[in-house]
Amino acid sequence: MASTAKAVEPVISAAWGKPQSWTLDSYRSRGGYDGLKRALTMEPQAIIDEVKKSNLRGRGGAGFPTGMKWSFVPKDSPKPKYLAVNGDESEPGTFKDRYILENDPHMMLEGIAIASYALGVHTCYVYLRGEFKFQAERTQAAIDEAYKAGIFGKSMLGKDFQLDCYVVRGAGAYICGEETALLESLEGKKGWPRLKPPFPAVVGLFGSPTVVNNVETLASVPPILAKGAEWYAKLGTDKSGGTHLVCLSGSVNRPGVYEVGMHTTILELIHDDQYGQGMPKGRKVKAVIPGGSSAPVLGADELDVALEFEALKMKQTMAGSGGVIVMDDATCMVRSLWRVARFYAEESCGQCTPCREGTPWQTRLLRKIEEGRGEPGDIDMLSNVASSIAPYPPIGLGNTICALGDAAALPTHSFLMRFRDEFEAHLREKRCPFGEHPWGSYGDWS
């Protein structure tokens, strides 16, 4: 279809594709670090208030208001304060943060500098997914430039404020994308999530106040300081300021990372010429996962909804980490859920019984149904197992320390809610109506 979606002013991706966009010279030529210059003339609390007024919400999954999160850090703590950047982008269907690190890392670094000055942080760790070797190298090169330019180090653009920044690569564990597991990993421990409270803002890294922010979240901060909170807030909706990056994958003609407005709908993202450019010839949309594989799936008749936190919440799903996965009418929903469930079974840290026992149980049941060996009662058993991990709806009532249990159970609940007829067809026909799966054997447990 022709382009009908409302035009979006790019904020994060404006420089992507320009020559040497990842270098300090290129970034400064575009007004880079102007936001930091303004921030250094302000009181720290005024910076936090500006971010609050912008309605910037976290871009890592939960969508928590960023300024509010910053305000939780105690101002009178005698302990050092830390900033941890969550670049452990491991959610299936999500691949936006790596583009920031590859194309414009200084935008994130400026956000780090502003946040650190506002919070009184003198040490920042950028925690990146273990597989991000190239992205880590590019980020480190940008940090080296920032030190040479007097942005990081003993002073910040001439201001008597020291900030040191370090890149740390994980070992490829999905669980370390959970903020407290990330902190455990930074401390050199096994990446097991912590009980909350206490929350990281009070007791975080090394037992000290810590803010954990996503890469895109911090990259969104410099434009707010450079152009003002009101400008940024007006780009979005009442409760969600700015634009955001979404990752479009699956059965579309042009998958990719796109910067969209909070008003942009899933249908526009799939079909509009400036985004996905429609479905492959002869195919129709069957379902869409709107926020990474942990987000509850939507049916084809539910897609005229904005890619925005509150709008998707009304559909009992979530914007999550921005991973929009499109499935067409040739897709087997049992097989798709089996693949999603297997991922979470593999990535469970094993700390909590419902997750440790429930995720492989889901996977075994789904494999049994998909291979035509399902029995009466298996679908209800699958639903019961998912409910034991995390009831649904609403989202967020899980029985585990962290949200990985929710992430494993929510797809099961939503697939069964919207596509139960396919599960029943597998039992009735004692085979997969969509043909044999191409993966081969995964072992007895899977």
Edge to edge, what strands does the sheet with 123-128 contain? Answer: 164-169, 123-128, 82-87, 210-214
As a residue count, the chain comes to 446
pLDDT of the residue at 328: 96
Instruction: Map out the domains of the chain as residue ranges.
Output: 24-235, 243-328, 333-429
* 53 exposure class (CB count in 10 Å sphere: 0-12, 13-18, 19+): middle
- 15-50 burial string, b = 16+ CB within 10 Å, else e? bbeeeebbbbebbeeeebbbbbebbbebeeeebbbb
pLDDT of the residue at 443: 46
CA–CA separation, 68 vs 51, rounded Å?
A: 9
Q: Report which of 370, 281, 276, 381 is spatially closest to residue 332, judged by C-alpha positions.
A: 370
CA–CA separation, 51 vs 211, rounded Å?
A: 14
Q: Take residue 118 and report the two structure tokens written for it.
A: 């506002």
Question: What is the phi/psi pair of residue 441, to 5°?
Answer: -80, 145
CA dihedral over 175, 180, 182, 183, signed as positive or negative: negative
Sequence-distant (6+) residues with CB within 8 A of 119 are 44, 48, 70, 73, 81, 83, 211
Question: What is the phi/psi pair of residue 115, to 5°?
Answer: -60, -40
pLDDT of the residue at 442: 45
* 263 exposure class (CB count in 10 Å sphere: 0-12, 13-18, 19+): middle
24-235 belongs to CATH 1.10.3720.10 = no
In this structure, the number of other CB atoms found within 10 A of the CB of residue 394 comes to 8
Q: Take residue 328 and report the two structure tokens written for it.
A: 């067409």
- Cα separation of the two ends of the chain: 41
Say if residue 376 is preceded by a cis peptide, omega within 30 of 0.
no
CATH fold, domain 243-328, is: Ubiquitin-like (UB roll) (3.10.20)
Q: Take residue 192 and report the two structure tokens written for it.
A: 């097991």
Report domain 333-429's class.
mainly alpha
Q: What is the largest CA-CA distance in the chain?
A: 73
Q: Take residue 166 and report the two structure tokens written for it.
A: 């370090």
pLDDT of the residue at 437: 58
In tens digits, the chain (446 residues) has pLDDT values of: 566 677 788 999 999 999 999 999 999 999 999 999 999 999 999 999 999 999 999 998 788 999 999 999 998 899 999 999 999 999 999 999 999 999 999 999 999 999 999 999 999 999 999 999 999 999 999 999 999 999 999 999 999 999 999 999 999 899 999 999 999 999 999 999 999 999 999 999 999 999 999 999 999 999 999 999 999 999 999 889 999 999 999 999 999 999 999 999 999 999 999 999 999 999 999 999 999 999 999 999 999 999 999 999 999 999 988 999 999 999 999 999 999 999 999 999 999 999 999 999 999 999 999 999 999 999 999 999 999 999 998 888 889 999 999 999 999 999 999 999 999 999 999 999 998 755 544 444 45
